[in-house]
A = this chain, B = another copy of it.
Amino acid sequence: MVSKAVAKYVHALHLKKYRLRHQAFLVEGGKSVVELLRSGLLTERVFLTAEFAAKIPSLPAKVPVEIVTEEELTKLGTLANNTTALAIARLPEELPLEPAPNKLLLALDEVRDPGNLGTLIRLADWYGLQGVVCSESCADPWAPKTIAATMGSFTRVRVWQRELPEWLDALPADLPRYGAHLEGDNVHRLDLRPGGVLIMGSESHGPRPEVLARLTQRLFIPGAGGAESLNVAVSAAILLDNFHRAL
Using a CB–CB cutoff of 8 Å, the interface residues on chain A facing chain B are 115, 119, 122-129, 149, 151-153, 156, 188, 221-231, 233-235, 237-238, 241-242, 244-247
A189 to chain B, nearest CB (A): 10
Q: A128-B225, A221-B241, A242-B241 are in contact. Are A123 and B230 (CB under 8 A)?
A: yes
Check B230–A244 contact: CB distance below 8 A.
no
Contact of A234 (CB < 8 Å), options: B119, B245, B246, B247: B119
- Starting from the known contacts A128-B223, A153-B227, 14 additional A-B residue pairs (CB-CB under 8 Å) come to A119-B234, A124-B225, A126-B224, A126-B225, A127-B225, A151-B227, A153-B226, A156-B225, A156-B227, A224-B244, A231-B233, A234-B234, A235-B237, A238-B241
A3 to chain B, nearest CB (A): 34
Copy number in this complex?
2
A244 to B187, CA, bound (A): 12
A230 to B125, CA, bound (A): 10
A234 to B119, CA, bound (A): 8
Check B125–A225 contact: CB distance below 8 A.
yes
Q: A229-B151, A234-B233 are in contact. Are A127 and B223 (CB under 8 A)?
A: yes
A229 to B127, CA, bound (A): 11
Question: Majority SS of interface residues in chain A?
Answer: loop
Contacts of A224 in B (CB 8 A): 126-128, 244, 247
Q: A115-B115, A128-B223, A231-B233 are in contact. Are A188 and B123 (CB under 8 A)?
A: no
Check B222–A247 contact: CB distance below 8 A.
yes
Q: A115-B115, A224-B244 are in contact. Are A230 and B234 (CB under 8 A)?
A: no
A117 to B123, CA, bound (A): 19
A226 to B151, CA, bound (A): 11
Contacts of A126 in B (CB 8 A): 221, 223-225, 227, 230
Contacts of A230 in B (CB 8 A): 122-123, 126, 237
A148 to chain B, nearest CB (A): 12
Contacts of A152 in B (CB 8 A): 227-228
